[in-house]
Structure formats: C-alpha cells, structure tokens
Amino acid sequence: MSSEITLPLWAFVILSGLSIWSLLEKFFFPSLEWFVKRKLRLMVEKLNTKLALKIRPFKLTKRQVLIDRLMFDPAVLEEMEKISKAEGISQGLLSKRVKQFAREIVPAFNVYFYFRIGYALSRWIGKWLYRVRLTYQNEGSISKIPEQSAVIFVMNHRSNMDYVLVSYLVAEKMALSYAVGEWARIWPLQQMVRAMGAFFVRRASGDKLYRTVLERYIHMATEARVTQAIFVEGKLTRNGLIQEPKLGLLDYISKSFNPQGEQDLYFIPIGLNYDRVLEDRTLIQKDDIPKKGTFFATLKTIKFIFHNFFLMIKQKWFRFGYAVVNFGQPISLKDWMENEKLNLSTLEKEERFKYVKKLADEVTEKISRAVPTTPVSLVAEVFIQNQEKDLSLYEIKVKCHELQVLIKKEGGIIYLPRGEEDYTISVGLRMLTLRHMVLERDGLFKINPNEKDLLNYYSNSIKQFFNKE
C-alpha cells in the first residue's frame, strides 16, 4: 500500500526556494566571503609594497566593530553619564544617540572601490576638466618622514573639486581619509564618500555628546596612524583669501598626542589653486542677495554644461585651465611641542586652545605659502594692482615678471606651463578675456567693472605674497 503527499504548486515553490537559500547560506556564501576577503587581503599586501604610506589595519576593520568601540568608549560613557544626570535623559536614549552619531561618522572604507573605481573616476574627472599639475616645495622632506609616524594632510579649501584632485594625485602613494562636511550626506554620494574612507563632520554642531563621539573617533584613527586629510578653514573660501583656521579638529588631533612617546605626528601642508573654480560665481555672491531655488540652480547647471558642450563642438573649449596642487614643508608636532616646551594633553581647555590657535596659525601660514601661483591668478593680480590703467600686452608682461620676482622672494611656487613666461601670460590673459573679466580694445586691456569681484577672487589666492599687513 503506497501513500502520496501532494502539495500545492505555490507551497512547493516556497519550500524549494527556502531549501536553495539554506544551501547558499550554509555553503556558497561562506565560500564566497572567504574568496573575496582573500582577494582583498592579497590586494592590500600588494598595494602596501608600492605605497609610501601603507594602508593601516584600522582602515580595514569592520565598520560595526568601530561603531561598537565608540559606543563603549570610556570617554563617551562618561559624557553620557554627565548628560543623563544634568538633563534627566535615560541612558537608553543617550545610547541610541551615540549609535546614530557613530554610524554617521564611521566610514566604510573599501580598498577595491578606492584604488580601482574611485581613483579611475577622480582621474578621469580631474583630467577632463583641468590640466592637472603636482609640485613640491621640497619632495625629499616628505620621503624622510618615519614610517611609524601619523600623517595629517592640511589644505586650503577653494572648490569641491579639491577632494577629487588630491585623491587622484596621491592615490599612487597613499589612501586618504577625509573629513567631509554635511553637504555630501545625500544619496548616492554619501555611500561613495564612505567607501572612499571619508568621515562626516557636523561643522556647526554644539552637541557635546556628538563632539565627544567625533573626538574619540579621530583619536582612534590618529592613534592607529591612519593618513587623514582636513581643510583647516572648515569651509570654502568666499573671497579667494585663506580664511581663519577652525580649531576643533586640530584640537582633537593634538590634545591626545604624547610628545614623549616614540611615535611622531606630521602635518603636511597642501596648497591648491585653479585657473577656474567651478563654483566661483556662486561663492562670491553676496549674502544679502536672495538665494535662488533648486530648480533655478539645476537650470543654471544644465545651461553651463550645454554652453561648454557647444564650445567643444566649435573647438573653442580649453578645459578650465590649470589646477595645481603643491606639497609644502611638513611640520612635526613633536618638534613643535618641544620648541613650545609643553604637552597639550596636560592643559585645561582654555589654556590649551591658546596654543592650538598658535599651532593652527602656523599651519595655515605654511599652507598659504604652499598655494601655487597659476597663470590666471598671476595676470589677475596685475590688473587688480593697476585698476585705473589700460595696459598693453608689453606692460602686462613686464608687470607679471615683477610679480614673479616678488613671489619667488617670498618662497612661493609659480607654475609656468611649458616653462615659458610668455606662454604663461598668454594662457592667463586668454582665460580672463574669454570669461569677460578683462576687456580688449585697440590692443589695450582693462578690467571689466561688472566682473571686478570675480577678478578679485582669483587675485586674492596669491595676496599672501604681497600684503604684509
């Protein structure tokens, strides 16, 4: 006697699907995970033989592990207890807030995405928009930094392209972990930025608990010698001048540094400059002018893209000129503290901030001296210094040469395309006339009064070499 069990088709499909999923989960997925991890480990080992600054194990730690470390960090738990007693907030709610902050801050570094996709994308964008150039004030000094040291790149902030250019230019030597503002917390940019190893910072947050979580993450990353990159100004310059430094991140980095320890920490100044900043007209817009909506900004962007597309068709598109990145002289934090005869970690906040301000000013000064002079900034400065005159091409060349002498005397870097002064001046003048910042008539050149603010923006990038006050 035989018995048959019949099942409806839908039940058979569900049971079959669950069986297949169980097999995949038990056998296929673990094997696939092992294979991927092995490939990534071999990739990291291979990269570390080529990189000047190696990828540290901290960057490869699982994101959830770092989030858990922050949630149970003694300093974070102590701050939670203080807030709980002072404001009557339960530990459970505070723990949820900490978890939210930690998930927001901690990156999800993906070595494959960084060195394959991210590098290729940033390289393509950078080279398509600009003639990208890299210079050094003293390349040998960077190569002499001891391997066991922590390295922090500190930069001026002229454009959102800064992230792209620096990542592309240093990718063959190191993997950077950026401090990125809240502007990038939109889908899918947020996921891409995290995969590149960047961490998000709420620049204007006064939340003590958030600042504690952020401080402890930066301490952990610095202690693990992760190569980080920060913009000392904290935001984009609106007038072309280097702004006053923000002290928060520098304080977090330096307050826990032990000058008596074996490990040193180096700040490497980077100066960036462009012949054309993509956001320039938006940046110089006065605060009292009503801001346009998203729809208007989108239309403006589309118009800008089509305008440049038609210039390409007419073979009148010269990209956006030169973008130059210059590495300045490294600053040893250990040497700086020894010269000042202090240990920042032993000082109270008010006293410590006086010295952090001094350190920030010295770092900012190094950055300003590292900002390279591009063709547009050089020629723009000539017109700003001679606003009431109509200048001939010969007069422009003479005055450009005089400015170059002054800049070199101050230790500045001047980028001369093809190594030729005449070509440099013609490139800068061409860009200014094409954008109608300078008008030409009967062989004479003068400032367009309607574009004076924009011309000032570009000349201000090298004002530190002329205005002693």
- Residue 235 pLDDT greater than 80, yes or no: yes
H/E segment holding residue 298: helix 294-313
Take residue 107 and report the two structure tokens written for it. 């990156």
User: What's the pLDDT at 374?
Assistant: 96
Total of domains in the chain: 3
Is residue 94 a part of any domain in this protein? no
Residue 244 resides in a domain: yes
When the pLDDT of each residue in the chain is averaged and rounded to a whole number, the result is: 84
Which of 335, 370, 405 is a domain's end point?
370
Let me know if 293 is exposed, middle or buried by CB neighbors in 10 A (0-12, 13-18, 19+). Answer: exposed
User: pLDDT above 90 covers what percent of the chain?
Assistant: 43
Do residues 207 and 110 share a domain? yes
**193 confidence band (pLDDT: 50, 70, 90):** confident
In a domain, 153, yes or no: yes
Distance CA 53, CA 51 (A): 5
Q: Does a structural domain hold residue 58?
A: no
Q: Which of 9-23, 39-53, 359-373, 446-460 has the lowest mean pLDDT?
A: 39-53
Within a domain: residue 434?
yes
Helices within 106-207 (DSSP H only) = 111-112, 119-129, 139-143, 161-170, 189-195
CA dist., res. 194 & res. 191, Å (int): 5
Per-residue pLDDT band at 403 (split at 50, 70, 90)? very high
**For 129-172, what is each residue's pLDDT tens digit?**
899 998 887 777 777 888 788 889 999 999 988 888 888 888 77
- pLDDT band at residue 71 under the 50/70/90 scheme: very high
Alpha carbon distance 346, 268 (integer Å)? 25
**pLDDT computed for residue 447 by the predictor:** 95
User: For the segment 293-348, what is each residue's pLDDT rounded down to a tens digit?
Assistant: 555 556 666 776 777 677 767 776 667 899 999 999 899 999 999 999 988 888 88
Same domain, 364 and 387: no
Radius of gyration of the chain (CA): 27
Short-list 64, 24, 51, 201, CA closest to 114: 51
Same domain, 268 and 142: yes
Q: Is residue 146 part of a domain?
A: yes
Indicate the pLDDT class of residue 245, thresholds 50, 70 and 90: very high
Q: Do strands 438-441 and 444-447 pair parallel, antiparallel, or not at all (unpaired)?
A: antiparallel
Using the predicted structure, report yes or no on whether residue 412 has a pLDDT greater than 50: yes
Residue type, 130: Y
Question: 257: closest CA among 155, 201, 332?
Answer: 332
Beta bridge partners of 445: 391, 440
| Phi, psi for 94 (deg, rounded to 5) | -65, -35
pLDDT at 414: 94
Taking residues 436-459, what's their average pLDDT?
A: 94
Which of these, 52, 324, 271, lies nearest to 171 by C-alpha position? 52
Rounded to the nearest 10 degrees, what angle do helices 119-129 and 161-170 cross at? 120
Q: Are residues 343 and 366 in the same domain?
A: yes
Cis peptide before 375 (omega within 30 of 0): no
pTM of the model: 0.84
Mean pLDDT of the 4-15 span: 74
* Domain membership flag for residue 297: no
Q: How many CB atoms lie within 10 A of CB 469?
A: 2
- Distance from chain centroid for Cα 181: 10
Q: Return the minimum-mean-pLDDT range out of 109-113, 217-221, 328-332.
A: 109-113
Q: What angle do CA 328, 156, 161 make, to 5 degrees?
A: 110
Cα 55 to chain centroid, rounded: 18
Question: Are residues 139 and 36 part of one domain?
Answer: no
Considering the domain architecture, whether residues 141 and 271 belong to the same structural domain is answered as yes
Closest CA to 417 of 170, 161, 138, 133: 133
Q: Which of 370, 404, 433 is the last residue of a domain?
A: 370
Instruction: Retrieve residue 461's tokens.
Output: 């990038």
Looking at the fold, whether 232 and 346 belong to one and the same domain comes out as yes
Q: Check residue 469 and give its pLDDT.
A: 46
Classified as helix, coil or strand, 197 is coil
Whether residues 349 and 428 fall in one domain: no
Tell me what percent of the residues of the chain surpass a pLDDT of 70: 85
**CA dihedral sign, ordered 89, 90, 92, 95:** positive
256 with 126, same domain: the answer is yes
Predicted confidence at residue 463, as pLDDT, reads 93
CATH at residue 443: 1.10.10.10
Please say which residue of 337, 370, 403 terminates a domain: 370
The answer to whether residues 146 and 220 belong to one domain is yes
Structure tokens at 61: 């730690």
More confident residue, 104 or 31: 104
Q: Is 290 left (phi over 0), alpha (psi -120 to 50) or beta?
A: beta
DSSP labels, 327-373: E---EEHHHHHHHHT--GGGS-HHHHHHHHHHHHHHHHHHHHHHPPB
| Residue 173: predicted pLDDT | 76
Band (72; pLDDT cuts 50, 70, 90): very high
**Token pair in block for residue 183:** 């502007």
Instruction: Answer whether 264's CB lies under 8 Å from 338's CB.
Output: no
Q: Are residues 341 and 401 in the same domain?
A: no
pLDDT class for 34, splitting at 50, 70, 90? Answer: low
- Average pLDDT of the residues in 262-283: 91
Confirm if 400 and 376 have CB atoms less than 8 A apart. no
Query: By mean pLDDT, which of 186-190, 277-281, 426-430, 454-458 is the weakest?
Result: 186-190
DSSP string, 55-115: PPHHHHS-HHHHHHHHHT-HHHHHHHHHHHHHH---HHHHHHHHHHHHHHHS----HHIII
Range of the domain at 393: 375-465
Q: DSSP assignment, residue 419? A: G
Q: Is residue 82 part of a domain?
A: no
Q: What is the mean pLDDT of residues 393-413?
A: 94
- The answer to whether residues 360 and 384 belong to one domain is no
Question: Distance between CA 306 and CA 286 in Å, rounded?
Answer: 26
